[in-house]
A and B are shown apart, each in its own frame.
Chain A
Amino acid sequence: MSKVIFNRRRFLTLGGAGLVGTTLAGCDAFDSFARPGHPVRDFLIGANEMTMAVQRTLLGSEALAKEFSESEIRQGMRPNGSTDPNNPDYLALRETDFSQYSLEVGGLVDNPGRYSLDALRNMPSRTQITRHDCVEGWSCIAKWTGVPLGLILDEAQPRSNANYVVFHCFDIYSGGLSGGVPYYESIDMVDAYHPQTILAYGMNDAALPVANGAPLRVRVERQLGYKMAKYIQRIELVESFADLHGGKGGYWEDRGYEWYAGI
């Protein structure tokens, strides 16, 4: 008897779902305008500019992301995206524990520079316990140690037309026909000079692990995780990112995500 009831209930559930599905005609009715590049989608994503304008007005340049106490670090930092880059250049550096690594800072600056990991570690550092919010919806609290990006920029002396800081990364995503597509990200000067924007080489009181972006990743605490590029190879200051890769300012931005990820 119970088997019959189960089957009937299952039948009703499936039937009900099917009925609702037919009524709504599946939401593939809206799939056509959802494709990147469709004018409707381009119009809708315009709301992101309003979001950014309003948030920047509320935020100013100095408002800080909340910092937590040690007791709120309850777990390891969940790695996401690429966690084990297989780029040969990267693997070679990893072999010697990144002792041969150097960060290149160039582009629209008067004083381009190179920094070994030791040089970065010898600069004034900032340590912050913050909540990492992934665009997927989850959050994780961890402690980050690194050099404020503002100090690096002060040394590099950006030119007046430098509007964005671009992070070029070692990790390569599979990119279909073109082979591999490197990860990259960009932030504007407001976020670049924010006191909590650091180039992190340490996490939870240890060297930054490979899964979390060794040897160097950026923390942009007032935005979502995908802005916080890992495995940074080189920093470039640019006037516009229109000529880089897909032209939208980041790997995920080129795949339809908002450039401003404060929401």
Chain B
Amino acid sequence: MSQSEADTDTGVAAPSSRREKGPLVYRQAVLTRLTHWVWVVCLFFLLLSGLQIFNAHPRLYIGQQSGFEFNNTAFSIHAERREDGSAAGITTVFGQRIDTTGVLGVSGPEDRPQVRGFPAWATIPSYQDLATGRVVHFFFGWVLVGTLLVWFVSSLLNGHFSRDIVPTGRELRSLPRDVADHARLRFHHGRRYSILQKLTYGIVLLVLFPLIILTGLSMSPGINSAWPWLIEIFGGRQTARTIHFGAMVLLVGFFVIHILMVVLAGPINTMRSMITGWYRIDAKRKDPR
């Protein structure tokens, strides 16, 4: 099935149970699958160890330094004592206060609430341990960088990049229709990615991954001395830390939507293609239009 056929297919997709089965096609090269699953492990450990590191100073700023005698705070999580003596977790986003008791600021068992930024279930280790958070974070940081390089080189060589990531002009013009189809949960199963998939994976792999790696490096005093230009791009070390956190939030958002799409588009087929490489595409429409 070619892209042009998928593109002209504007009809309503029948529920998969009634739809005629299409053929299995080899969709994912082994390196695409391998790097995908390494990233799953990496991002899991990077996220949870990152939240551990964040908890050591749960406050984000804009600029070169942290304002202790002036205010450049963009985001903070802290605990306050209520009038009745109980502890409240307060999250502040650009001056907007939100009560997040139970999750952010104050969390844990009702009878023994803990004062901490992110809760124990969201950090590695579960208890406060900045040193181990860093050890885990930097190890998987290296793995992420290495895997991204392997993916980038292999994707350029095996055509994954030009076929599945770089959108064509035609595809870009079909974007509004693809958005509408996704919104109505009408998924087309072709050999190729839809334009929304291409753009999403392109943004994650070519924008968010490099952004989170480079803002991470901008927090390193060693890298600051070796590549002084890098931290200037991001507007200072504390801004870089804030962007690093923001990129994390976007990646978590991507993860949630990604999993939702896997479930909605047929979890068995999508999982099979990500494990074995083989993907069942829609049957060719018989009624010519």
Contact = CB atoms under 8 A, between A and B. Distances in A.
A146 B136 CA distance: 36
Interface in A1-39: 10, 13-14, 17, 20-21, 24, 26-28, 30-31, 34, 36
B247 to A, nearest CB: 16
B218 to A, nearest CB: 11
A263 B222 contact: yes
A141 B129 CA distance: 26
Contacts of A257: 130-131, 134
Interface in A131-183: 131, 133-141
B66 A262 contact: no
Contacts of A13: 100, 102-103
Nearest to A21: B121
B241 A137 contact: yes
Interface stretch (A96-104, A109-117, A220-228): A220-228
Contacts of A27: 48, 120-126
Nearest to B99: A10
Given A30-B124, A139-B237, A75 B67 contact: yes
A72 interface: yes
A28 B130 contact: no
Interface string B141-155: 110000000000000
Contacts of A222: 221-222, 224-225
Task: Please tell me the size bucket of the interface on B.
Answer: 35 or more
A184 B220 CA distance: 23
A28 B132 contact: no
A93 interface: no
Interface string A203-214: 000000000000
Given A45-B135, A133-B219, A59 B69 contact: no
B138 to A, nearest CB: 5
Contacts of B124: 27, 30, 34
Nearest to B222: A262
Nearest to A22: B121
B142 A47 contact: yes
Nearest to B101: A10
Contacts of B132: 34, 36, 41, 256
A72 B131 contact: no
A5 B47 CA distance: 32
A76 B68 CA distance: 9
A141 to B, nearest CB: 5
A63 B142 contact: no
Interface of A: 10, 13-14, 17, 20-21, 24, 26-28, 30-31, 34, 36, 41, 44-48, 50-51, 55, 58-59, 63-66, 68, 72, 74-76, 78, 131, 133-141, 221-224, 252, 255-258, 261-263
Closest 9 CB pairs of A and B: A262-B222, A256-B131, A75-B69, A21-B121, A58-B226, A138-B66, A137-B57, A34-B125, A28-B126
26 contacts: A10-B102, A13-B103, A27-B125, A28-B126, A31-B127, A34-B136, A45-B135, A47-B141, A55-B223, A58-B223, A59-B225, A65-B225, A66-B228, A74-B67, A131-B65, A131-B237, A135-B130, A135-B134, A136-B57, A222-B221, A222-B224, A222-B225, A252-B131, A257-B131, A258-B138, A262-B222
